[in-house]
Amino acid sequence: MREKQQMINLLTGVQSSKKSYYTELKKMVNELKKKNMQLEIINDITKSFNIDMSIDDMLRNTFDKLKEIFYIDRISLLLYEQEQLVLTNVYPEHDLYFPVGFVLPRGNSLYWKAIQSLEKTFHQVQDEQTFIENKVYQSLGICSLLLIPLMRKARVIGLLSIGSKEMVVYDESDLSFFQQFGDQLAVCIENARLYNEVLKSEKEWEETFRAVSEMIFVVDLEGNILKYNDAAKEFFSLDLLKTNICQLLAIDPKESPIIENVEMKKPVHRQFHIQQRVCELHAYPVWNEQQKIYASIIYINDITEKLQIEAQLVQSGKLAAIGEMAAGIAHELNNPLTAILGNAQLLLRSIEKDNRSYKLLQDIYLCGKRCKTIIQNLLTFSRQDEYVFEECSVNEAVEQVLGLIGDQIHKQNIFIQKKLDHSVELIEGNIQQIGQIILNLLINAKDALEEVENERKIIVVETKQVIENEKQWVTLCVKDNGKGIAEQHLQEIFNPFFTTKRPGKGTGLGLSVSLGIAEAHGGTIEVVSEPGKGSEFRLKLPVQ
């Protein structure tokens, strides 16, 4: 006990109590923790740039650790570039007032004052101050600031701002730490800048090669390939180093673009064919410091698709014009057609069915409805209509359509066989649009059966749920035993205005509109057909 008491006396003085001893010991431990955390922060800054961590990430990590030992609520970094002070980083991000990249004006600026003094500045935010930063910090609730100019080799490279929502006071050891913190941050920023400049220069060719999908070669004056990019390797599928470019491209050595580079001292452009592709070649001379050509850069672009697209531009222009014209005509016809249908309905209600005029009015009304359907198809094709998607059943859509035209099909001695799987799941879509697809498929099947003399004409309508490519689909199959579709027409039947029906029988819009609706629902339409045996159209829609 006597030795323990002597130890307490040595540490705390003879008059100290046990309570003051533990208080001093706790204070000492906290100071040690603080010093360790400061060393860890300095060490983290050094490591951050060594592993290519961004300044944002570094500030985030540093901020979280600084908060453990200081009252800090905001940290920002401004870089001094071309005699301008530019805001580059702020953490936390939600405390951003000026946008990143904001150039701070010199007049009445606290930051500029700190830069010009070249010394760290402690500042308390007050209402009567006229600094432009004062309004910013008042809006953010910041009460006190510590501004540290970042110096590197007696040159200012930026400014670090540390803000707190409390009125804090830093002692000399704290200010010394923040100065070390700023010095180390300045070293890291400068080293990172120099490193990036060297890295940019070193990787210039590599980045150029990766940035383009066209083939690039670097060749010497003999035509031997010194370097090539991945696109060239993929196109030729072999190692091309030291291969002669003329042999590779099947070019006469006497007409080598490299020779023309040297003689004309300017870029060369050619078009040639290789591997059944049409390519453009550009050869650019490379100069050394003595202004002599020592190599060429060969740039090759596959323009086969480009030429094909150019050849289709005229046809595409026609289709675009037809689409606009269709929409315009549809809107123009809608108004008079509404009047025709309305008046026809009124007259039908006022005339007895055995009246001679009743049949004529009924024909007018039915023809008007047919015209309205065609107009609706035109509007859908030209994407003028908007529909709301919701849960709906394909089976219900089938029943609705069969309720409309089922009797008409039966009257033409065509038997409809339903095979509806009532366990199929719902889809996300528009039942009216799905019904339009089913209607078009049934009409096409009916028309195909009208052109054959089968004893038993059948249309099979089947729904089921399948799994393809790990995805669930609801499928609707409409199959007929009609005349079928010729193989050369299978790739064209979904094109707008293409039809194999006789004039006046079809508009050529049914399948085109149907495919567009299916794709809008995330699905598609597949077709299998054999001339003389019939066709099967399969609508596939994803399960909700």
pLDDT at position 189 over 50: yes
Q: What is the pLDDT of residues 20-69, one digit of tens each?
A: 656 666 666 666 666 666 666 666 666 655 545 667 777 777 777 777 77
> Of the ranges 187-191, 238-242, 332-336, which one carries the lowest mean pLDDT score?
187-191
237 backbone φψ class: left, alpha, beta (φ>0; ψ -120 to 50) = left
**Token representation of residue 350:** 């006022």
Provide the pLDDT for residue 203: 75
**Token representation of residue 459:** 């249309």
Provide the pLDDT for residue 5: 58
- 439 Cβ contact list (under 8 Å, min separation 6): 401, 404, 405
Q: What is the pLDDT of residues 375-405, one digit of tens each?
A: 765 565 455 445 678 888 999 888 878 876 7
- 227 Cβ contact list (under 8 Å, min separation 6): 205, 217, 218
Give the dihedral sign, CA 218/220/222/227. Answer: negative
**Token representation of residue 483:** 């005349």
Provide the pLDDT for residue 451: 81
Q: What is the pLDDT of residues 122-143, one digit of tens each?
A: 888 887 777 888 888 888 888 8
pLDDT at position 181 over 50: yes
Give me the mean pLDDT over the 522-542 stretch.
Answer: 90
Provide the pLDDT for residue 537: 92
pLDDT at position 15 over 50: no
Average pLDDT for the chain: 80
Provide the pLDDT for residue 51: 47
Provide the pLDDT for residue 119: 86
Q: What is the pLDDT of residues 253-274, one digit of tens each?
A: 888 888 888 888 889 998 888 8
Nearest Cα residue to 161 out of 137, 132, 184: 137
Q: What is the pLDDT of residues 488-514, one digit of tens each?
A: 777 777 766 567 666 556 656 677 778
Q: What is the pLDDT of residues 275-312, one digit of tens each?
A: 778 889 999 999 888 888 999 999 999 887 777 666 55
> Of the ranges 203-207, 227-231, 434-438, 498-502, which one carries the lowest mean pLDDT score?
498-502
Q: How far apart are CA 54 and CA 46, in angstroms?
A: 12
438 class by beta-carbon count within 10 Å (0-12 exposed, 13-18 middle, 19+ buried): buried
**Token representation of residue 332:** 């123009």
Percentage, residues of the chain above pLDDT 70: 81
**Token representation of residue 278:** 């049409």
